[in-house]
Structure 1
Amino acid sequence: MTRYRNAALFLALAAVWGSAFVAISAGLRHFPPVLFAAFRYDVAGVLMLVYAVYAVDRWRPRGHNEWGIVLVGSVLLIAAYHAFLFVGQQNTTAAAAAVLVSLSPVLTTGFARALMPSDALSVVGVVGVLLGVVGVAIIAQPDPANLFTTDVVAKLLVFCAAASFALGSVLTRRIDADLPIETMEAWSMLGGAAIMHVVSLALREPIEPSAWTHPEALGSLAYLAIVASAVGFLLYFDLLERLGAVEINMVSYVAPIFTALVGWLYLGEIVDAATLVGFGFIAVGFLLVKRRAIRDEFVHLDRWRTSE
């Protein structure tokens, strides 16, 4: 029963996070991008902080290291990631954005090896990272004669979002602090939202008053803040403890399937061949980069099943 429960929760998380990209595209019809992202984490941050107060012993960071993790999370995992993603997704499809974001686990390994020279990537690992980058190039389809078309720039911004998240993931793990992940996420969400509000003010993003009465605008904001962020991260915390980091990373490769399906049903978006081929390159790159961890995970599962 536990195995079926984990599989159901895994699919639920992939569906929630995959459909979130569609909710972003829908909400961008009504809200300016950076302010939209800030509103999302105003709500999600408060909900996550309430949960942290309820669920963990230490709901507030202490000391320089713990606040350092929150700072990195605020700047890279929340503010930079979502600002790049929301701005980029104004001019690309939800499915393409989801596929590009799925590069994050590959980039995370690349950043980890770059920041820790003693643990360098093997030749196969380097090939995996390069395949992921090739996948991005296939999806972006840059024209050498005109590299700054709206579509290419949009996809490069989403790539920057994936890179920001990957770098933030590595830096938070390098800081020596024993901060509950729920507490770190809550304060990072609130800090990231504050940063995005400042950026939005600097950009002088306009917002139409009608957005606050439009069902699609309010529905997309509520879905992103409550379902994709608050509920999604609770599912993530539960599965991370049960499955481990390797298996939970596979969510990034199942979520785009739900993005493509919901995007087609709700937005009428069609997934082009370049996006599918690029996704294949990124997925193969992930398998090469994580091949040892995946192999060890299968060995562990086989032993666990045998012992039952």
Structure 2
Amino acid sequence: MDDVATGPRRLTAGYVFALLATLVWSGNFLVARGLAGSLPPVSLAFWRWTVAVAVLTPFAWRGLRQDWPALRAHGRHFALTALLGVSVFNTAIYIAGRTVAAVDLSIIAASSPVFVILLARVFHGERLTAGRIAGVALAFAGVVWLVTNGRPTHLLTLRPGRGEWVMLGAALSFAGYTLLLRRRPPGVRLQSFALGSFALGLLFLLPVYLWTSWRRPLYMPEPAALLGVLYVGVFASVVAYLAWNAAIARIGPSRASLIYYAIPLFSGLGGWLLLHEPVTAADAASAGLIVSGILLANRAARPQPE
């Protein structure tokens, strides 16, 4: 069975939502690197989701109360989704970012769409066509070319350590979360599901946060750190997760996950626009590979008519 069948307008909306989530998440990686020395990883994750819950609650609380019976009826699925997508995924990124170079983080993060497609094949029986495989390979080659600045032999120098394995776990966790979103309980609103997942994921994080913080003295973070927490709490959590959930509902996990390859592309564009970093020939070549791979893989994954 392939991804969910959709009409042209629904497909377009799905890709727009996936692009929006990917664009916002590219900023999340930049903020995470910038806050690596300001906030401990678990603290950053905890306060991120605290902000997200506080922001989303006024808009989604009434719907969550109405949808709660449906969520309770699918309690295991709901809890696993919150654990993987909220508690584990970003916390693992923040932990890995303390010891792993940004270039290596980007390479490992790019494995997540591959995991999505393979898991979709195993658990959902989706077809693994030659076109989709070629598109994934092309996009992945573009990511490697981008993050290694046109020197893919850098990969030969990688010596996986604890941080690299943690980041690989984050990529696998995001793949599992993406697949679980496809089976969101029927009739549950996106905002209700997001708020419930955020709150439950935050609850899972609470004992870890208390355990890692009880000996640490209280301090007031710098203004830049507070702005970073607001960004990841409001935009990288509420906006991006709602957009990603909407994308999965419209185009399915495999096609949406391929857009995730554009994160390094958006990060490079942000560096050029905001930090005045130069765009090299390697950047342009990798952009062409990534976009071509995404288009090829999604063309090979066209939905079947209803």
2:99 aligned with 1:87, yes or no?
Answer: no
- How many corresponding residue pairs? 289
2:58 aligned with 1:46, yes or no?
Answer: no
CA deviation digits over 1:47-100, x for unaligned, max 9? 333322356783425365432232011111111211211112224465764564
Q: Which residue of 2 aligns with 1:183?
A: 192
Identity %: 23
1:219 to 223, 227, 233: 227
Distance 1:250 1:166, change over 3 A: closer
Cα contact 1:81–1:162 (8 A) shared by 2: yes
2:238 aligned with 1:230, yes or no?
Answer: yes
2:166 to 157, 172, 178: 157
CA deviation digits over 1:214-252, x for unaligned, max 9? 1111010011111222233445566677x7447755652
Distance 1:235 1:194, change over 3 A: same
DSSP-derived class of the 2:68 partner: coil
Give the C-alpha shift of residue 253 in structure 1: 3.8
One-letter amino acid of the counterpart of residue 159, structure 2:
L
After TM superposition, list the pairs within 5 Å mapping 1:134-173 onto structure 2. Answer: 141-143=154-156, 147-148=159-160, 153-173=162-182
Q: Which residue of 2 aligns with 1:199?
A: 208
Distance 1:176 1:51, change over 3 A: closer
Cα contact 2:92–2:169 (8 A) shared by 1: yes
DSSP-derived class of the 1:29 partner: coil
Q: Distance in 1 between matches of 2:251 and 2:186?
A: 20
2:40 aligned with 1:32, yes or no?
Answer: yes
Of 276-285 and 73-82, deviating more is 276-285
Q: Distance in 1 between matches of 2:243 and 2:222?
A: 29
CA deviation digits over 1:79-134, x for unaligned, max 9? 12112111122244657645643543332121011124x54524554566666777
Give the C-alpha shift of residue 288 in structure 1: 5.5
One-letter amino acid of the counterpart of residue 190, structure 2:
I
DSSP-derived class of the 1:179 partner: coil
Q: Distance in 2 between matches of 1:134 and 1:97?
A: 15
2:106 aligned with 1:106, yes or no?
Answer: no
Q: Distance in 2 between matches of 1:209 and 1:264?
A: 37
One-letter amino acid of the counterpart of residue 267, structure 2:
T
Structure 1: gaps (5+ residues): 301-308
2:70 to 33, 38, 62: 62
Distance 1:222 1:247, change over 3 A: same
TM-score, L = length of structure 2: 0.70
Q: Distance in 2 between matches of 1:189 and 1:143?
A: 39
After TM superposition, list the pairs within 5 Å mapping 1:6-25 onto structure 2. Answer: 13-25=21-33
Q: Distance in 1 between matches of 2:295 and 2:189?
A: 29
Q: Distance in 2 between matches of 1:45 and 1:112?
A: 30
DSSP-derived class of the 2:66 partner: coil
Q: Distance in 1 between matches of 2:303 and 2:165?
A: 34
Distance 1:14 1:109, change over 3 A: closer
Q: Which residue of 2 aligns with 1:305?
A: none
Distance 1:279 1:29, change over 3 A: farther
Cα contact 1:103–1:282 (8 A) shared by 2: no
CA RMSD of aligned residues (A): 4.5
Q: Which residue of 2 aligns with 1:303?
A: none
TM-score, L = length of structure 1: 0.69
Distance 1:225 1:94, change over 3 A: farther
Give the C-alpha shift of residue 265 in structure 1: 6.9
